[in-house]
Chains A and B, each alone.
Chain A
């Protein structure tokens, strides 16, 4: 995943379950975790953080 500001490869440093997103859209919810599993990526150059659904990786 590239940083939109720098074009630098971002660092995938966390996975987090978003339970509310799973309630809003049950089809996106992970059947094991009960919510939408999201990845957090941060740019080592500028610190920008992006989150995307784990399924998108």
Chain B
């Protein structure tokens, strides 16, 4: 298997909302991912993507975002749950690419103020990811009661159990990323 090249797995922070707690979760996952040997990562913040709101899809593609997804072997999406759904800006950003996603792995981290850890937003996002051509892993990372999981001022992790949960989630994602890279490069349809 050709795993000599480092895997590139960016983390997409899926909300531009002011005061977002998902940023703490995203930076935590980014740090955990960065500790893994053979993995490179970066944060993609939808707030920073210069996407027009006057059109949709590939017509407003951001070259930097497209380049990062093209290079990626897998994606981590960190999304809050807003009224049981995903942020409009996340969908707006995801829809600007298509070919960049094909046969790449994706894992989703759900974030919620309450006790369900974004399970409903993850379920809602899965069919979108499938249609984009991504392959979802069967581990999620659910940040329940996010206000207690992180220090709201510094973003420091307060609940160490998330280290172990992230390890399982990222382990599965890295396995899928390696497997799909092998498939993309060597297995023909």
Which of A's residues lie within 8 Å of B, judged by CB? 11-16, 18, 20-21, 38, 40, 42-44, 46-47, 49, 51
Q: What residues of A have a CB within 8 angstroms of the CB of B186 in the complex?
A: 11, 44
Q: What residues of A have a CB within 8 angstroms of the CB of B57 in the complex?
A: 20
B24 at the interface (CB under 8 A from A): no
Assembled-state Cα–Cα distance A11/B186 (Å): 6
Whether the pair A14, B98 counts as a contact (CB closer than 8 A) is no
B115 at the interface (CB under 8 A from A): no
Indicate which residue in B71, B102, B181 contacts A16 across the interface (CB closer than 8 Å). B102
Q: What residues of B have a CB within 8 angstroms of the CB of A15 in the complex?
A: 189
Whether the pair A43, B185 counts as a contact (CB closer than 8 A) is yes
B88 at the interface (CB under 8 A from A): no
Q: What residues of B have a CB within 8 angstroms of the CB of A13 in the complex?
A: 102-103, 183-185, 187-189
Whether the pair A51, B189 counts as a contact (CB closer than 8 A) is no
Interface size, B (range): 20 to 34
Which of B's residues lie within 8 Å of A, judged by CB? 2, 5, 57-58, 70-71, 73, 98-100, 102-103, 133, 181, 183-189
Q: What residues of B have a CB within 8 angstroms of the CB of A42 in the complex?
A: 103, 184-185
Whether the pair A51, B99 counts as a contact (CB closer than 8 A) is yes
Whether the pair B133, A11 counts as a contact (CB closer than 8 A) is no
Q: What residues of A have a CB within 8 angstroms of the CB of B98 in the complex?
A: 16, 18, 20
Indicate which residue in A21, A38, A49 contacts B184 across the interface (CB closer than 8 Å). A49
Whether the pair A49, B181 counts as a contact (CB closer than 8 A) is no
Whether the pair A44, B2 counts as a contact (CB closer than 8 A) is yes
Assembled-state Cα–Cα distance A52/B78 (Å): 31
Q: 29 interchain pairs (CB within 8 A)?
A: A11-B184, A12-B188, A13-B103, A13-B183, A13-B184, A13-B187, A13-B188, A13-B189, A14-B102, A14-B184, A14-B189, A15-B189, A16-B99, A18-B99, A20-B57, A20-B58, A38-B99, A42-B184, A42-B185, A43-B185, A44-B185, A46-B5, A47-B5, A47-B71, A47-B73, A47-B185, A49-B70, A49-B100, A49-B184
Assembled-state Cα–Cα distance A19/B119 (Å): 29
Whether the pair B103, A47 counts as a contact (CB closer than 8 A) is no
**A45 smallest CB distance to B (angstroms):** 8
Listed from nearest, the 6 A-B pairs whose CB atoms lie closest are A44-B185, A42-B184, A51-B99, A40-B102, A14-B102, A13-B184
Whether the pair A11, B99 counts as a contact (CB closer than 8 A) is no
